[in-house]
Structure 1
């Protein structure tokens, strides 16, 4: 079971800590525990409750009414709202509850419903990515355990693979080589890039997680892709990131290289002429539009 500070509850629910304390005192809404050193903390049941309260309150339920609801009734009302609501925040709340409960069926239903309503790409950009960003911060601070993070990442990964398999490349499409540096395992952004590239009719050579340099060389020499794309979330880190980018630039000088991820975005790095940085992986859409125009002109 995970433990949360009141600031964690604020970040996940969007309800200010000051408001949570007032509700706690006035309506006995929460029952914080205390450590041996008398520090207050909350558990999974508290987080789930506050997420439900936030969702209901955002949709017009008065806090006095919410506080008097039995747990079964509150859950029923939340399920009704998330089934019919198109609000992104409501859907992110619903996914967060699924994560806390590790409810795979409900998680799948929320994602599938949104994909049907607004499409896969918009579901990724407006719901899944903000959701992953929210839980990512808490995972780094230890508020969410690795099992919960892996549970969610694997479910999202499955959806991405199914969506990618449904895309058919064009005969005139360009070749993109997608890979993660050796030791890098965070694959969601690379998979989404693969989906976007294939959805525009281009061919993707997908090497995936932790690609050794020798393997990268061998595939590049065999297939000679016009473009390479990698995401550096955790590795290479620090000063080694610049060296890795420089190595890619020199070794694959005939290709255009795209890089993204925490280790390059916002860092004080110098990018060679054949390397382009993406602040967000969705930025590749602009490049794909330019490539499409070039293909049409030819």
Structure 2
């Protein structure tokens, strides 16, 4: 019977590695299926229109902005036959960018891609890794003083954030879209894993210190070196959190601060009671 249980344990130990790998691959496939998807809104059927290819390049939660790269493609009568991606007449593009709300594309010249910043509202970075924000992306194109049909294809390439469409509408040749920006699935998994590791390391140091103190082992230098190294290793682990969250976020209050406290208490307790135990064993103090 014991041999049968031992065989089951060996088989389970062998299967746990491929099972974990398979679970990780499934998480990756799930994240890949829902992230970085293109969304199209506007008058895509109008023959004479301005096509916008908008890509979210980078999100800065600290500065509360998202950088967009906007490519303007005139179609139909709005395109100049003598140039590559050049408008036949000057196109003025209006947007909700707080830093550059108006961009002009001269007639007969290739329309170069423009980098525009959009603001983030709602949410706070102190909720990391579960922080979330909203951003409104709206465009209108004007030619000869009149608005022309416009269509927008929105996508994102920032690996640390996930965009989800909250609302989309097209009215009077204006495309308006609200996107919800949150941390990518991989970032959340990594941050949660780091919090679990921090707690595990802190509790391990406390458990080791309790053994040293309760059994009066004295100053065990290898153990003290490991404990002290853990104190600094936790800070190094915290500093490599994806997205460089600021000190004082949820990650710190949920795990890092407590792990550092537990580790410091473990090291100080082991040294303090270790010194007392060593003094008692010192022949100069009456004991051997």
Which TM bucket (shorter chain)? Answer: under 0.3
Greater gyration radius: 2
Structure with the higher fraction of residues in helix conformation: 1
Structure with the higher fraction of residues in strand conformation: 2
- TM-score normalized with structure 2 length: 0.25
| Greater RCO (CA < 8 Å, at least 6 residues apart) | 2
- TM-score normalized with structure 1 length: 0.24
